[in-house]
Amino acid sequence: MAYGSSQDVNSNGVPDECDCLADFTGDGLVGLDDLSILLAHYGAPAPSPSDGDIDRDGDVDLVDLALLLAHFGLPCA
């Protein structure tokens, strides 16, 4: 990104090596706290990705839940 060698292929403003979009709490693990955040916003418009909108389409839906579950229990690398 700016002045470095990092890439941002998905244009989300986060260097690709730092992406862990399902880790809403920022604790380095996709776990129950992250699932709770997603479920609290499920079916509603999401003002920001940290509210559970992993695919950044403006709402929290089944696609977001599937993405979180695909990474559930995994550390962010």
Per residue in 18-47, pLDDT (tens digit) is 568 899 998 989 999 999 999 999 999 987
pLDDT at 11: 60
> Domain map of the chain by residue range?
21-71
Query: What dotted CATH number matches 21-71?
Result: 1.10.1330.10
Q: Please tell me the distance from the alpha carbon of residue 28 to that of residue 7, in angstroms, as a whole number.
A: 20
pLDDT-derived band at 1 (thresholds 50, 70, 90) equals: very low
Q: Exposed, middle or buried by CB within 10 Å (0-12, 13-18, 19+), for 14?
A: middle
pLDDT at 73: 94
Mean predicted lDDT score pLDDT of the chain: 83
Kindly report the pTM of this predicted structure: 0.74
pLDDT at 46: 82
Q: Please tell me the distance from the alpha carbon of residue 63 to that of residue 5, in angstroms, as a whole number.
A: 31
